[in-house]
Amino acid sequence: MAQAGKCVVSSAVALAGVGAVRSLNARRLSDSAGLFRKPGCFLPRFELGSAVFSERWKYLPSGKLFIGRYHEWICSAKGHGDIDDGSSPRDPPSQGPPHVPFTASEDLGAPDCGDPALVGEDSAAFDITSQSTSSWLLFTAILGVALAVLYVVWIDPETGYGSAYIDAISSLSSSHEVVMLIILFTFALVHSGLASLRGAGEKLIGERAYRVIYAATSLPLAVSAVVYFMNHRCDGMQLWDVRSVFGVHELVWAMSFISFFFLYPSTFNLLEVAAVDEPKVHMWETGIMRITRHPQMVGQFLWCFAHTLWIGNSFTVTTSLGLLAHHLFGVWHGDKRLSDRHGEAYRILKERTSILPFAAILDGRQKLPRDYYKEFLRVPYLVIACLTIAAYWSQALLQSASQYLRW
């Protein structure tokens, strides 16, 4: 596939000069010669002789950057009256579109002048027809093996090292708040540290092998943090108690439920998470990313606020502060890693999005499509909703399991 892509690009470059000149000369001809119209925007077709590009070209970084810039030129020129909309005869514009090194023979698409072309990927997209049964069977097998190994090596009090890990940290302080902070700091150090080394690690041992190491170290530490929190959530000094106040339970439940919809879209790519498909560093732009480009941080804030409000003791306050500190670091760290990986494309995405929820929408930098709600009517969000409800109903079972470990 990669070699085929290189051949296509090489052919395109060779034909670019001739194709671009032919396209510009044909610009003032009839619609059949390539003038494509949509209400409000008019877009000339660019042909490249016999060069043929697949639809996938549009989703390559260079393709998305060109199309985005081209659409910006179309809308800008239209706004200044430099493009003929067919309503009255006029001379050809004196300025043409920007230089085109190579383009697709397919339509570039007439842009919505209020909604710039995407430079990122469509998040939470799930096409059932493109799924491989063998890939999902392999994912199920890997998940089963991973959970079995996790239980034997880490969770089981008889054979696992999880108890020894918690005991070692607990020996450093008699305060459960301090122990919780050390557990969170250890997880953050390993999780974010390995994320920062991902580029070098993948070059050294490959994407799949590095993902296995990343998951094998992060998952046990995450389980330890969750179990320790569940076992000690009622410890510490009680600061307030609003559980009997009307509406608080419903507010806490709603905020906790919504918080899981702010999961970062890469968590939806389960086949990549399990290294069945080759893991990639994605740059998402649709769905929850239109609201905030750091949804994980926002979701964590909602979850921490809800649980701190409900439990109201010093242990929960300390845990929430530790979690939020890690996620605030993740905001800076995530922007840096994506900027290093995607360069100009991510700079454009940052201009269109915001860290604070809805900020880019309110100040006009983010233009929501008319059918924006459809970006959430997708299988991954349905799965999240079902799993969140199932977790709520199984709280008693989860609490019993965590108490069994006595961490």
Model confidence pLDDT, tens digit, residues 114-161: 456 889 999 988 888 889 999 999 999 999 999 999 999 999 999 999
Looking at per-residue pLDDT, the higher value among 343 and 41 belongs to 343
CA distance 111 to 312: 51
In the block, residue with structure tokens 């990669």: 2
Q: Tell me: pLDDT of 334 over 90.
A: yes
Looking at per-residue pLDDT, the higher value among 30 and 249 belongs to 249
How is 145-191 classified by DSSP, letter by letter? Answer: HHHHHHIIIII-TTT-SHHHHHHHHHTT-S-HHHHHHHHHHHHHHHH
Are 111 and 74 in contact, with CB atoms under 8 Å apart? yes
Mean pLDDT for the stretch of residues 223-232: 96
pLDDT in tens, 59-103: 444 444 544 554 454 444 444 444 444 444 444 554 544 444 444
pLDDT in tens, 14-50: 334 434 434 444 443 334 333 334 443 433 333 333 3
How many other CB atoms are found less than 10 A from the CB of residue 260? 16
pLDDT the model gives residue 53? 38
DSSP reduced 3-state for 352: helix
Are 372 and 290 in contact, with CB atoms under 8 Å apart? yes
CA distance 5 to 14: 15
Looking at per-residue pLDDT, the higher value among 68 and 405 belongs to 405
pLDDT in tens, 175-200: 999 999 999 999 999 999 999 999 99
The amino acid at 53: F
Lowest mean pLDDT of 45-49, 117-121, 168-172, 319-323, name the range: 45-49
What's the mean pLDDT when you consider all of the chain? 80
Helices (H), 206-289: 207-232, 248-259, 270-273
